[in-house]
Structure 1
Amino acid sequence: MNIGLTGGIATGKSTVAEMLKLRGAIISDADVIAREVVAAGSPGLAQVVAHFGKLYLRPDGTLDRIRLGERIFQDKQARSELNHILHPLIMAKMQKEVRRIEKENPDTIIVWDIPLLYEEDLTEFVEKVIVVYVAEDQQIKRLMLRNNYTEEEATMRVQSQMSIERKKERADFVIDNQGTLSETERQVDQLWNYLILKNGSNRP
């Protein structure tokens, strides 16, 4: 079974992914793969540098992710161009990884952890979608606390993604992460038991 997991920046998606992993899911993480496809010397990095310039290449040959991040969060067109370069590489690698997992563990539950699942119209790869939700004002507050951003900086980053309310409306399952960790754990337990039942097994 292939399940999508998404949310918004600072909603706690990684926390929920870890909870699902502890219960037996295998996680295919787009953020991890995104780093791999722009590793030093990779074709992906070469494409990024060719498009955006050597300005975003660090002296050690790695991508200057902080500088590039500042650029794309301020420039919608640049963000779209970067996604156009990287997303095909990321999805090709994720699909290859998932095929390997399915071959080795045919009865497992695979979670495709993709921040831009809806923005990039990637729902075709999964059967159902989980959205990790907190209200936008909470996203902004958490991001300010976590990254030491100003309110303006945090708001800009939150609003660079699809509204969390729109994602919530489209979700098959919603994990409301606005309460305590224990409350989130209980929701994940309920969802996991449902997924196990739908997967036709007492274990993944």
Structure 2
Amino acid sequence: TQAITRHHLQRLLRLAGERVRGRLYLCLERAPLTPRTISLCYSQPTRPGLDVRYLHPDWPKHAGRVCDLLMHDCPSLSPGQAVDLANRYLAGRPGMAEALTVEHPEPEEPEEDLADPDWRPDQFANVALGGTFDRLHSGHKILLATGALLASRVLTIGITGPGLLGNKVLPDLIQSYRERAAAVVDFLADTRPDGPVYHVTELAEPLGPPARQADYQALVASPETRSGCDRINAARTAAGWPELPVHCVPFAQEEEGATPAPINETKLSSSTGRYRLLGAPLRPPLRPPVPGRPYVLGLTGGSGSGKSSVGRRLAGLGARVVDCDRLGHAAYAPGTACHRRLLAEFGPEIAPDGPDGAIDRKALGRRVFADQSARQRLNDIVWPEIRRLALEAVHSGPQSASPDVVVLDAAVLLEAEWQCLCHEVWLCLIPKREAVKRLTERDGLTEEAAQARLAAQLTDADRLSWASVALCTLWEPEATQAQVELAWKRLLRERLGATPGPQSNL
């Protein structure tokens, strides 16, 4: 209710961040309804996870809003007046939990000039904007709220479809189109329920409806998407339609205390948000720990994902690592039942040194690679034996630390359904183009052979449905180590109730 300065707003948001876990509605009584006000409200750094939403006193109340805590800077407000104030913006409910007065110090800087004489809401009938809108953040909110102010009839929101996500950072961690669209609709319907019609559409190509349909009057963009607006206008000019004015909104600042990411971005972005999911818990473990028994981590990933290097890092932090690829060699060593079954199934040519000699894995691979039925027969023979050897190693190996954490390092962990042996699954992600590059450089494969090998495996999107933790070795080794240490620290403290030992260097 008092004079609006950037310092005072930041102080209010910092105090709110100490009390509020979820949604914070920000109501500025003296602020004019302009894009400058929108940008000021959403561009301030806040605590991670605080969902700030700006409301204007002239906008109608939304039946879904309730108020648990009212924070205000009006010292003369009585409890009854506090409830009335909350009900100006929210549906409210009897017996509001708490009202808290925040002192308003003398301004240390001039009041923000939020007026814009050239601005008026509802300037254009049909307005369009676009983006990926992964894990809705303040930058998205500035874009969406500005579009909702500009449009009087229809606001079209183009949301990037799955076919356009391949070049994004960590695309497999991007929310589904349905999740992203639902978050956009929820935000707009909650903050501006009396606004224009909100038309959400999936973008199968970059430019979207404004490049194909004449009936638009304006575009809203961020500095990141401004070049796309230029391409839209070029397409409209080619079609004989007028170019559209572009309202460009500013970037938002990073959240307070956010972990630095090795991504070349200084703004708040979904890419850095996805990076910060690496090493963090994505979902609960598959099963709880059992006192006195090893805690088994299933470590998996596609070819070229860096899974083995992550296993070595975990060993350096105190885990025991069971390498299922090495167990695969042992499973059909000469003299074993598995060796005899493979010779009977695939013929003597897979053992060029005779029936008592070692199996040529490359020759066997050539036999089964293009034949799914043969591949399945091979797996039916070998996988049960690897599983037996792995269980033996998990429960009979020397305990290296307390608690005893065992890493089951297996490329086919999920294909063989060995996740049932694990308490949780950790997944190593890698973009397909990087995996192809590593396979051609490391294994000497042609690009076509590398592509074929990856196509025969589960996708990272399929594997993610089982993963409690995701990691990525795309960046410098120090970045991988930081992810692994973060995941290890949380595992010991939050899931096993232990303190990381000296060897973890945490």
TM-score interval (norm. to shorter): over 0.9
Residue 168 of structure 1: how far off its partner (Å): 2.7
Residue 2 of structure 1: how far off its partner (Å): 1.0
Q: Which amino acid in structure 2 is aligned with residue 200 of structure 1?
A: G
Q: Distance in 2 between matches of 1:51 and 1:81?
A: 8
Is 1:13 aligned to 2:307, yes or no?
yes
Q: Distance in 2 between matches of 1:172 and 1:102?
A: 26
For 1:78-93, what aligned pairs fall within 5 Å after superposition? Answer: 78-93=374-389
RMSD of aligned alpha carbons: 1.8
1:74 to 370, 380, 383: 370
Q: Tell me the residue number matched to 2:90.
A: none
For 1:110-149, what aligned pairs fall within 5 Å after superposition? Answer: 110-149=406-445
Instruction: Give the SS at the match of 2:417.
Output: coil
Matched residue count: 204
Is 1:165 aligned to 2:461, yes or no?
yes
Instruction: Give the SS at the match of 1:172.
Output: strand
Q: Distance in 1 between matches of 2:461 and 2:474?
A: 14
Is 1:31 aligned to 2:325, yes or no?
yes
Moved over 3 A (4+): 101-106
Residue 52 of structure 1: how far off its partner (Å): 0.4
Q: Distance in 1 between matches of 2:401 and 2:485?
A: 22
Q: Distance in 2 between matches of 1:25 and 1:104?
A: 7
Superimposed CA distance per residue, residues 95-125 of structure 1 (whole angstroms, 9 cap, x where no aligned partner): 1221213878673101111111111222111
* Superposition TM-score, scaled by structure 2 size: 0.39
- Bigger RCO (CA 8 Å, 6+ sep): 1
Residue 136 of structure 1: how far off its partner (Å): 1.5
Q: Distance in 2 between matches of 1:75 and 1:144?
A: 23
Residue 35 of structure 1: how far off its partner (Å): 0.5
Q: Tell me the residue number matched to 1:180.
A: 476
More moved, 1-10 vs 38-47: 38-47
Residue 138 of structure 1: how far off its partner (Å): 1.4
Q: Tell me the residue number matched to 2:497.
A: 200
Superimposed CA distance per residue, residues 48-83 of structure 1 (whole angstroms, 9 cap, x where no aligned partner): 111001010031600101111222222222111101
* Superposition TM-score, scaled by structure 1 size: 0.93
Q: Distance in 2 between matches of 1:144 and 1:111?
A: 28
Higher CA-based Rg: 2
More moved, 81-90 vs 164-173: 164-173
Partners of 2:305 and 2:472 within 8 A in 1 = no
Instruction: Give 1 or 2: higher helix fraction.
Output: 1
Q: Structure 1 stretches of 5 or more lacking a match? A: none
Superimposed CA distance per residue, residues 30-54 of structure 1 (whole angstroms, 9 cap, x where no aligned partner): 1111111111222111111110010
Q: Distance in 1 between matches of 2:454 and 2:367?
A: 15
Residue 200 of structure 1: how far off its partner (Å): 2.3
For 1:48-67, what aligned pairs fall within 5 Å after superposition? Answer: 48-59=342-353, 61-67=357-363
Q: Tell me the residue number matched to 1:45.
A: 339
Q: Distance in 2 between matches of 1:106 and 1:58?
A: 46
Residue 86 of structure 1: how far off its partner (Å): 0.6
- Describe the shift of the 1:23–1:103 C-alpha distance in structure 2 as closer, same or farther (beyond 3 A): closer
Partners of 2:318 and 2:400 within 8 A in 1 = no
